[in-house]
Every structure is written in structure tokens, then in C-alpha cells.
Amino acid sequence: MTFFEAKDVVKQYAGHKALNKVSISVPKGSIFGLLGPNGAGKTTLIRIINQITGPDAGEVFFNGQPLKPEDVKRIGYLPEERGLYKKMKVGEQAVYLAQLKGMSQKEATKKLKAWFDKFDILPWWDKKVEELSKGMAQKVQFIVTILHEPELLIFDEPFSGFDPINANLLKKEILELRDKGATIIFSTHNMGSVEEICDHIALINKSEKILDGPVEQIKKKYRTNTYEINYIGEFDKLDQVLKADFEIIDQAKGIEFNTLKIKLNNGSTSNELLEQLLPYLNIVSFREIIPNMNDIFIRVVKESKTI
Amino acid sequence: MNKIFIIIQREYLSRVKKRSFLILTFLTPLLIAGIYAFMIWMMLKDDTEKRTIAVLNESELVEPVKSSEFTTYNYLQNASFEEVKSSMEKKGYYAILVIPKNILQTKTAELFSHKQVTIEVKSSVGRQIRQHIEKLKRSKIIAEANMPDLEEKLAATRTPISMRTIKFGEGGEIKQSSTEIAMGIGFAASFIIYMFIFMYGVQVMRGVIEEKSNRIVEVIISSVKPFQLMMGKIVGVAMVGLTQFIMWVVLTGIIITVGSALVLPGVDMETLQQAKSVAELPAGAASLDAGQLKMAQDILGTFDLAYVAGIVGAFIFFFLGGYLLYSALFAAVGSAVDNETETQQFMLPITIPLILALYIGFAVAKNPESSLAFWGSIIPFTSPIVMLVRIPFGVPIWELLLSMSLLIGTFLLITWIAAKIYRTGILMYGKKVSYKEIWKWLRYHN
């Protein structure tokens, strides 16, 4: 079931198009990765979802309905450019931000204290923000983003600036929120960082969406049928004994073992390859090279250029 | 609407709780009271400096100046000017007074000194010589006329005239007015407005820059509309300004009342105040007589409640109107830059009309009926300041209404424009913005 949908969204700024007919569809309860290099238009799309700015053309649906101003209550947003008032007290400020999301002061205070306790920052409640370490300030920002229990959570470059410990904490909490039913959108240019937790992605490049779908499907689609074989022993005439369907891409000598990369063409299988190799080589390991998002991205960008 | 209130509350409280606000709020009345007390002290204080002045009297006048408690006149017979001059320091003479032989013709005497002679000494010497000569001439005439009681009769001809200016009020009733006081009030009020627009406009700008440089702005505008954030800040800061102004008025009043009761028992403050303003009149009145004091009291007495309420009402309206108009512009400037040092280029178009308004105000205070006064008080960018100068002199009601509605209309227009700049500007980081760029922002929709 689709929880959030953008249809043919266009956003034009003087001189350039930030988004050119971009459509995405975020399933309910999924972790959706919005990937692309810097300046591709991710943040513009996110700002449209948050109604910070409006699309010039196209439609945006939230839970099946056209996006309404009241929906901001149901969205939690951690922007890439995030900060806090330095001179304000931590607790006071968190309550203020929660109130702006429509929570009552009492409710906000109660929930905030529970979260602060969970994240071990309760003793800093009455301190000024400028006294906090960066990690603590990030915790506060995260808590404020999720406090009003939004159905849709948007994180723009969430892990930039987080130290590994906090990044892990963040990942854990986000997965927990997803398990409780929240839908999550991650936006990042660092594709490796979210690959393992996203189940859907959309790739955006130069204002256009160039690829989207479930991660598994995409990976399947962009399989290269290439295998990496580590072996011990010497055999120079491999290209002479192998069937023509097995294309040797790379052959390298190492200290402990040598490495071979072979691409399977014309529907030949890995078993056939193994059969062929066994008489000649002492195989240490044999695995399929699965392309990561970065590789896929680069490939798609190249392909879209040649079209 | 509720969210705007939450923003106003934060903007207000975070500023009012600042130490700098408290210090400024409580110290300023002390300072005003201090200046006030100093002026009174200066007024009450006699010149108690002991001075000796050497007199070289070459004329036929006999001791035209007489020693008083603090000033001693030493008449030096048969001494040359050069001698006295060289012995000045040794003998401790403050000055040398030379009364020439032909003073009755030249009507000029000379005071020589190393330091600038004080006004009091100069006028005291001049007055004494003048009176001495007048007396001589008068007795001569009296003697020649051979008329009994001539002296008394002549004295009876002296008739000092005091001018009372009276203007017709709106309803045709007669009001007594004082040009000097109207000028003073008008100018003070307009200057306070000028100062407040600047002070609090810059605070709005700083607040916007703070939000931008702290990177909190995007967090907030995902919850509220940029317009709400901007207006919340502007209104919150306006309330800080009003709070400060009211505190100043109340505290200054309390300090002066309490202070004068403690420090100056038996001195009637009102009399003193009036005495001061009358003393400044160029009527040559060195000392006050009862009639003049009475007149001053009359003038103050005509400040009826309606007149004062009218001025206070106009002050609040034009302060808020002017502040709202300019602070929206200040907010737009704040949104377009990354830090305060970059504000210079955009500040100029804001500060020029403000400073211009102040100068127009100076001119208008002298001539409140000029066309400069009219246009200055109608055009919204100068009207908050210029109109306040005019109001104590009386302004036709249609002009007032025109000026007010133009101010409100312009404020709405400017706020709309500023909001457009603000909305785009607050999300622009690390980009040097030019006027051309801002012009582009104005044409973005949403």
C-alpha cells in the first residue's frame, strides 16, 4: 500500500529546473532511500513533502489524500541543515519545537523527559544548548523529530556529522520506529550508508528520477553475472580451456591466492563454470559479485547519457 | 494562529530574560534621572567661584561695578595696562576690566583675561555699567526737568509684555499653546520612534540571522509557515520594545518623584521645571518674576488629558506602524545574508529613508506648515517620524487619516514582499546574494 506519492512533480527555479517530472511512490511501513549526488534535487523534493515549498506542477498525495497543511503534524523531518538555538535551555527548546508541531506543553514535557532519560541526556535538561557536545545536540534533534510520533519520517543526510556510536543508535531507533508502523524516507548522497537498511529506493540525478523500485529487484536487474574466484595454483592457459560463454574480465596474482573475475554470458550457469575450473584450479572461494548502489548508480547514469 | 502565539511568546521571553535587556531597562531611567538631577543641581547652584577683577577706570564714572560676595573689583589708580597685565598672575586677577575715558560715547568696555570669561561675569559687569550709566543719565534729566515724582512716573511706564500663543482647537474652543513645548514634545517623540525602529529592527534582523546561522530555521519551518515565523518574531520584538518603553516611562517617573522628594525637600519640582523653560526665552529676563511663572503654569495647565492622550495614541500608532514597516525589511535583509557583516549592502536603502526622516523632522519642527512637512508626514517611509513632530502643533484630521491608512497599506505591501524574500532567503546557505538575486526570489511563487 502506498503511503506517500509524488506524481510528475516539477519545480523550477530561476535558471534551472530542480525537479523535472519526478514521481516516487513510498509504500507504507517501508524504509525508502532517496539517493543521488549532491544537487540532484533530493532536498527540493523533501521540502515539497514538508510543504516548505510547493511544486510548480504535479501532485503530491499523503496517505491517499492530496497533501494538506495540517499534515505537517504527521510528518517528522530532520533536515540536512539542522541546529538549535544556542542560548536557549535544552528542555525549554525541545518543548518549544514540540509545541510548534501541535503538542501541548504538558504532553511534550512528559514525553521528552522519557526520551531524554532513554538517551542519557536528562541531566542536560536545564543546560544551555551551547554547553552540549555535538553528539548530545544530535540526540536532542533526533528526539524532537520523532517526539510527536509522526507517521512519515524524513531524514536528510541523517548520518552526516553523527559519530559511529550515535549513528548506530539512530539506526536502531529508526528500525524500531519502522516496526511500529512508521514510514521512513532517507535522503543521502552516500549510497553505501543506507543500502543495507532501505527496502525501496529511488535514484535521482540532475533533477530527474532515473531508477526506482524495491532494492532486491533492482539488484537482481543489475546483476552482472560476474563471479569472483580465489584460487591457489598456476594455470596460464585458462582462456584456451574455458567455453566461449565464460568471459575472463580480470586475472590477478596475490600473495596467498590468485583472483579471477569471470562473467557468465548466454545463460551459462555458475555450476558449469565450476565444473570447468575444477580440474585446473584449487579453489579457495567462489562468490557472485553483487553490484552495490554506487555501481548501479554510475551504470544507470552512463546508460541514461548514451540514450 | 496558535503557533504564531507560541513563536511570539518565545521571541518575547527569550529577549526580556536577557541580562542586557534588564540592564538597559533599569539603567536608562537611572541615567535620565541622573541627567535631570544634574540639570536641577546646576540650576540651583550659584556661581561660588571667588574672583578678583582688576579695574582700570579711565572714565568719569565712580565705581560703576561693585564687589559682591564672590566677585571683588579692585580699582587700580594710576596703573598702566601693561603693569597690571604683567602682574596679573602674581596678584591672582581673574580678568582686567578697562573702562575707557569716552565710554559714554563708545558704549564699550573691555574685559581682558587669559581664560574665556564666563557668561555670568560678562553679563554682570555689562549690566552694572549699563545700570550705572542709565541712572546717571536719568538723574540728570530728572534734575533738569525739575519735576517732582518723575522718577516714580518713569518707573511706572515700564511694561513688560508676555506673549501667550493661543490656537483654535478642532471644535472651535480656544486652547493655549506653547510653540516651544510643542516642538520639544514632537521632536522627543519622533526621536524615540527613530531610535526604537532602529534598535528593534536590527534585533529582528539579528534574530533572523541567528536562526539561519544556527541552522534551526528549516526545523521550524517544517512545522510552521515562514510567514508565521517572521511575523511571530516581528510582533514578539515589538512587544519587547513596548515593554521597555513603558518600563522606562514608569521607572523614570518613580525615580524622579521619589528622588526629588528625598533629595530636594521643599523645592517645588513643577516650579523649577517651568522656571527653566521660561528662563530660556530670549526676553533678556535674567530673573523670573511671579507673572512669568504664572504664565508658564498656565501653559502646562492647558495640557489637558485629551491632548496628552492624543499624542500618546499617535505615538503608539506611528511607532508600531513604522516599526512593522521597517522590521519587515530588516527581516528580509537578515534572511538574505549568512552573517551580520554581509548586511551592509542591503542596510543602506533602509537606513537612508530613516535618517532622512529624522532630518526632515528637524526642519518640520521649525516650520510645521511647509509642504516638506506635509509630504514628509504622508509618505509612509518618513511619516512615522515626521508626523510625530507635527502632531503637537495640530494636524488636520484628513491628513492624519491619509497618513495612517497609507502607512497601514504600505506595511501590508512591504510585509508581503519581505515575506517572499524571507521565505527563499532563509534556506539559502553559503551564497553571496545580490540585488539581482533578490529580484529573482520575488518572482518565485511559493
**pLDDT tens, A239-248?**
777 777 888 8
Q: Verify that A142 and A276 share a domain, yes or no.
A: no
Contacts of A81 in chain B (CB under 8 A): 215, 218, 429
pLDDT value, residue B121: 82
**pLDDT tens digits, B91-111:** 888 888 888 888 888 888 888
**pLDDT tens digits, A138-160:** 889 999 999 999 999 999 888 87
**pLDDT tens digits, B340-396:** 888 888 888 899 999 999 999 888 888 878 888 889 989 999 999 999 888 877 788
pLDDT value, residue B44: 66
**B320 CA: distance to closest CA in chain A (Å):** 26
Confidence of residue B34 (pLDDT cuts 50, 70, 90): confident
Mark yes or no for CB contact B223/A47 under 8 Å.
no
pLDDT at B304 over 70: no
pLDDT value, residue B250: 85
Residue among B318, B316, B243 at smallest CA distance from B8: B243
Confidence of residue B260 (pLDDT cuts 50, 70, 90): low
Closest Cα in chain A to B220: A97
Average pLDDT, chain B: 80
Q: Does residue A88 belong to any structural domain of this protein?
A: yes
Contacts of B224 in chain A (CB under 8 A): 100
Contacts of A97 in chain B (CB under 8 A): 219-220, 223
Contacts of A85 in chain B (CB under 8 A): 14, 210-211, 214, 216
Confidence of residue B281 (pLDDT cuts 50, 70, 90): very low
**pLDDT tens digits, B154-172:** 778 877 776 666 666 555 5
Q: Verify that A55 and A183 share a domain, yes or no.
A: yes
Q: Does residue A200 belong to any structural domain of this protein?
A: yes
Among A18-22, A195-199, B35-39, B269-273, the minimum mean pLDDT is found in: B269-273
Confidence of residue A179 (pLDDT cuts 50, 70, 90): very high
Helix (H, G, I), strand (E, B) or coil at B423: helix
Domain end residue (candidates: A183, A202, A220): A220
Task: Cell 518640520: give the residue.
Answer: B364
Domain CATH code at residue A126: 3.40.50.300
pLDDT at A5 over 80: yes
Domain end residue (candidates: A205, A220, A235): A220
Strand (E) or helix (H) holding B197: helix B179-213
* Contact (CB, 8 A) for B403 and B387: yes
**A253 CA: distance to closest CA in chain B (Å):** 49
Q: Does residue A303 belong to any structural domain of this protein?
A: no
Confidence of residue B286 (pLDDT cuts 50, 70, 90): very low
Interface predicted TM-score (ipTM): 0.80
The residues that bridge with B96 in the sheet, in sequence order, are B54, B112
pLDDT at B271 over 70: no
Top residue of A10, A16, A50, A52 to mutate, by most chain B CBs within 10 Å, is A52
Q: Verify that A172 and A241 share a domain, yes or no.
A: no
Judged by a CB distance cut-off of 8 A, whether residue B283 touches chain A is: no
Averaged pLDDT for residues A217-223: 85
Q: Does residue A298 belong to any structural domain of this protein?
A: no
Q: Verify that A153 and A46 share a domain, yes or no.
A: yes
Q: Which domains does chain B have, with CATH numbers?
A: 2-41+177-443 (no CATH), 51-155 (3.40.190.10)
Percentage, residues of chain B above pLDDT 70: 83
Judged by a CB distance cut-off of 8 A, whether residue B446 touches chain A is: yes
Percentage, residues of chain A above pLDDT 70: 98
pLDDT at B1 over 80: no
CA distances from A260 to A246, A287, B169, B270 (A): 12, 11, 105, 105
Mark yes or no for CB contact B7/A77 under 8 Å.
no
Closest Cα in chain A to B1: A100
**A175 CA: distance to closest CA in chain B (Å):** 22
**pLDDT tens digits, A65-90:** 999 888 888 999 998 888 899 889 99
Q: Verify that A97 and A183 share a domain, yes or no.
A: yes
Mark yes or no for CB contact A85/B429 under 8 Å.
no
**B218 CA: distance to closest CA in chain A (Å):** 7
Closest Cα in chain A to B439: A14
**A231 CA: distance to closest CA in chain B (Å):** 53
Averaged pLDDT for residues A277-297: 85
Of A14, A54, A84, the CB nearest to B446: A54
Which residues span the domain enclosing A237?
224-289
Domain CATH code at residue A243: 3.30.70
Closest Cα in chain B to A105: B6
Contacts of B445 in chain A (CB under 8 A): 54, 56
Mark yes or no for CB contact B221/A52 under 8 Å.
yes
Angle at B297 between CA B28 and CA B259, to 5 degrees: 30
pLDDT value, residue A151: 92
Angle at A45 between CA A44 and CA A48, to 5 degrees: 90
pLDDT at B135 over 90: no
pLDDT value, residue B173: 53
Q: Verify that A105 and A214 share a domain, yes or no.
A: yes
pLDDT at B46 over 70: no
Cell of B92: 591672582
> How many domains does chain A contain in total?
2
Instruction: Give the Cα separation of A205 and A212 in Å (integer).
Output: 12
* Contact (CB, 8 A) for B399 and B386: no
pLDDT value, residue B8: 94
pLDDT at B42 over 60: yes
* Contact (CB, 8 A) for B7 and B15: no
**B251 CA: distance to closest CA in chain A (Å):** 28
Contacts of B427 in chain A (CB under 8 A): 47, 52
Q: Verify that A206 and A266 share a domain, yes or no.
A: no
* Contact (CB, 8 A) for B205 and B213: no
